[in-house]
Amino acid sequence: MSPFLIIGIIMGTLAIDYMWLDHNRKRWGWMKSLSRKFKVMYLTCFLTISCLIYIGISGNYF
């Protein structure tokens, strides 16, 4: 799969979970007191780590 497709899938699932599925803020409620800058930084790090894990798993073994 294309890395851009994987990034899109991960970003889409995060957006759907954050905006649509989490009605009563049970999973993401701990972020409501944080600043917008920290939220962006957290989600960017989460996306980066997810992509690195995907690249590591999809690579050929030595």
Q: CB under 8 Å to 50, separation ≥6 — which residues? A: 10
Q: pLDDT tens, 2-59?
A: 777 877 888 888 777 777 766 666 777 777 788 889 888 988 888 888 878 887 887 7
| Domains of the chain, residue spans | 3-58
DSSP reduced 3-state for 30: helix
Q: What's this model's pTM, rounded to 2 decimal places?
A: 0.58
Give me the pLDDT at residue 37, please.
Answer: 92
Give me the pLDDT at residue 1, please.
Answer: 61
Give yes or no for residue 62 having a pLDDT over 60: no
Give me the pLDDT at residue 21, please.
Answer: 66
CB 20 within 8 A of CB 56: no
Give me the pLDDT at residue 42, please.
Answer: 84
C-alpha 40, offset from chain centre: 11
The amino acid present at 19, given as its one-letter code, is M
- Rounded Cα–Cα distance for residues 3 and 32 (Å): 31
